[in-house]
Structure 1
Amino acid sequence: MNIFVSGGTGFVGGHLRKALLERGHHLKLLVHRPSGSYEPGVEQVEGDVTRPETFVRHFAGCDAVINLVGIIREFPSRGVTFQRLHVEATRNQVEAAKQAGIKRYLQMSALGTRDGATSRYHRTKYQAEQFVRDSQLDYTIFRPSIVFGPKDDFINKLAGMIRTLPAVPVIGDGKYRLQPIAGDDVARCFAMALEMPETIGKTYDLCGSTRLSYNDLLDCIGRALGKSHVSKIPNPLVLMKLVVPLFQNIPAFPITMDQLLMLIEENICDGAWRDTFGFEPQDFDTGIRGYLQ
């Protein structure tokens, strides 16, 4: 297949490019500035998902579209907002696919996305999903949990804190649960879905095999780094809800209210996706040891 991929230059995109190329696909990779650094079989096309006139012509000759575009934090002064990058970018690509006569469309959303979600991140992801569902395209939507791998942001950031700080701050009691999934496993589901007609019109929550409280997650990362104990400093949730809104617009401040709300509401799923795709996800403890060490 010839596949148009947006958001494919990031962390998950790196895993996806590898998975698709291994299956013999040719990729049109949307980039802001072309370079010579991508793999054979990848054609770089210049454009911006928020400006359809810059990329619609590149849909010609493609058999499928994969949209990985997403942000975890807004920077409105730079035009980086959930509305633009989640909702408008999706709408632009859905319309471009319809105009080009492309039927197959895969969308990356996020675990926890739902109507009436507490965070703006999840609410805009849900709006984007609705554009896809209403498009009459042959769509598949994936909602991954926290994704881990050698170039991830979340696990590596926590590992950096554990390496350098005498104690790691914890929001609330740290008992809220997470279920991380490997980047290779997310990419494998995307690649397999292209060859599985039964995934058309479906939405899949993607999570790993291990549920961990946030405290247990920190301990697991600590063990991977060779530490027998990770000291933690609880920060009362009530206090954090007062402090974070005051400082979240400062780029260097490590968390926003959206991120806080998503963290404490948990990020787990039932693992039913395995019934369709037929493989077991990578073990979290083994997976992070492979790159943190």
Structure 2
Amino acid sequence: MKIFLTGGSGFIGGHLRRELLSRGHQLRLLVHRREAKPEHGVEFVEGDVTRPESFVGQVAGCDAVINLIGIIREFPGRGITFAGLHVGATRTMLDAARQAGVQRYLQMSALGTRPDAISNYHKSKFQAEELVRASGLDHTIFRPSIVFGPRDAFINLLAGYIRSYPVVPVIGDGRYRLQPIAADDVARCFALALEMPETVGQTFELCGPDRLTYNEMLDTIGRVLGKSSVPKLPNPLGIMRLVVPLLQGFSFFPITMDQIAMLTEENICDGRWRDTFRFEPEHFLPGISKYLRP
């Protein structure tokens, strides 16, 4: 297949590129700036997903569109918003696929996305999903949990705290559960879906085999880094709700209330996606051991 891919230069995008190329697919990758180093099987298309006129003609001739574009945090002053890059970009890509006559469409969403979501992030993801479901295209939607891998943001951030500080701050009591999944496993699901007609019209929640509390996750990362224990400093949610809104507008501040809401409401699933894709996902400890070093 020839696949038009957006978000392919990001963390998960890099894993998906390798997976698709290994299966013999050709990629047409939307980028802001063409990479100097050519890549076999990859055609770079310069454009901006918020400006469809910059790339829409390049979707023609493709067999499928995959949209990975997403942000975890808004910076409205710089034009970086959930509405623009989740909802607006999805609308643009659906229109581009329809204009080009491309019927197969895969969408990256997020675990926790639902109609009554408490976070603006998940609300915007659900709005984007609704556009996909109403598009008339042969779509598949994926909702991964926290994704780990060599270039991930979240696990590497926590590892940096553990390496650098004698005590690691914990939001709330740290007992909320998470179910991280490997980036390679997410990429594999996307690639397999292209070969599986039974995935059309379906939404899959993707999570790994290990259901860990936030405290357990910190301790697991600490073991990989050679620490027998990770001292933790709980930060009561009541205090966070007073302080974070005052500082979250500054880029140097590490967290927003939206992110706190997503973290503390838990991020787990039942793992039924394995009934369809029929492979065992990688466990968290051996997975992070491949790229975190003491």
1:21-170 correspondence runs (5 A): 21-37=21-37, 39-170=39-170
Q: Report how far residue 216 of structure 1 moved.
A: 0.3
State the SS of the aligned residue for 1:291: coil
| Structure 2 equivalent of residue 210 of structure 1 | 210
Task: Establish whether residue 2 from structure 1 lines up as the match of residue 2 from structure 2.
Answer: yes
Task: Establish whether residue 256 from structure 1 lines up as the match of residue 292 from structure 2.
Answer: no
Q: Report how far residue 37 of structure 1 moved.
A: 3.1
**CA distance in 2 between partners of 1:271 and 1:216 (Å):** 20
Equivalent residue letter for 1:195: E
Equivalent residue letter for 1:26: Q
1:190-269 correspondence runs (5 A): 190-269=190-269
Per the alignment, do residues 238 and 38 of structure 1 end up closer, same or farther by CA in structure 2, a change over 3 Å counting? farther
Q: Name the TM-score, length of structure 1 as normaliser.
A: 0.99
Equivalent residue letter for 2:72: I
For structure 2, list consecutive stretches of 5 or more residues without a partner in the other structure.
none
| Structure 2 equivalent of residue 282 of structure 1 | 282
Provide Cα deviations, 1:11-70, integer angstroms capped at 9, x if missing partner: 000000000000000000000000123531111001111111111011010000000000
State the SS of the aligned residue for 2:291: helix
Give the count of matched residue pairs: 293
Equivalent residue letter for 1:159: A
**CA distance in 1 between partners of 2:241 and 2:125 (Å):** 23
**CA distance in 1 between partners of 2:66 and 2:38 (Å):** 17
Q: Name the TM-score, length of structure 2 as normaliser.
A: 0.99
Provide Cα deviations, 1:153-177, integer angstroms capped at 9, x if missing partner: 0000000000000100001100000
**CA distance in 1 between partners of 2:69 and 2:114 (Å):** 18
Provide Cα deviations, 1:179-229, integer angstroms capped at 9, x if missing partner: 000000000000000000000000000000000000000000000001001
For structure 1, list consecutive stretches of 5 or more residues without a partner in the other structure.
none
**CA distance in 2 between partners of 1:55 and 1:247 (Å):** 37
State the SS of the aligned residue for 1:71: coil
**CA distance in 2 between partners of 1:68 and 1:193 (Å):** 15
Q: Which runs of 4+ in 1 moved over 4 A?
A: none
State the SS of the aligned residue for 1:242: helix
**CA distance in 2 between partners of 1:70 and 1:55 (Å):** 18
Per the alignment, do residues 92 and 278 of structure 1 end up closer, same or farther by CA in structure 2, a change over 3 Å counting? same
Equivalent residue letter for 1:80: I
Equivalent residue letter for 1:185: D
State the SS of the aligned residue for 1:45: strand
**CA distance in 1 between partners of 2:39 and 2:118 (Å):** 40
State the SS of the aligned residue for 2:290: helix
State the SS of the aligned residue for 1:292: coil
**CA distance in 2 between partners of 1:42 and 1:258 (Å):** 36
State the SS of the aligned residue for 1:18: helix
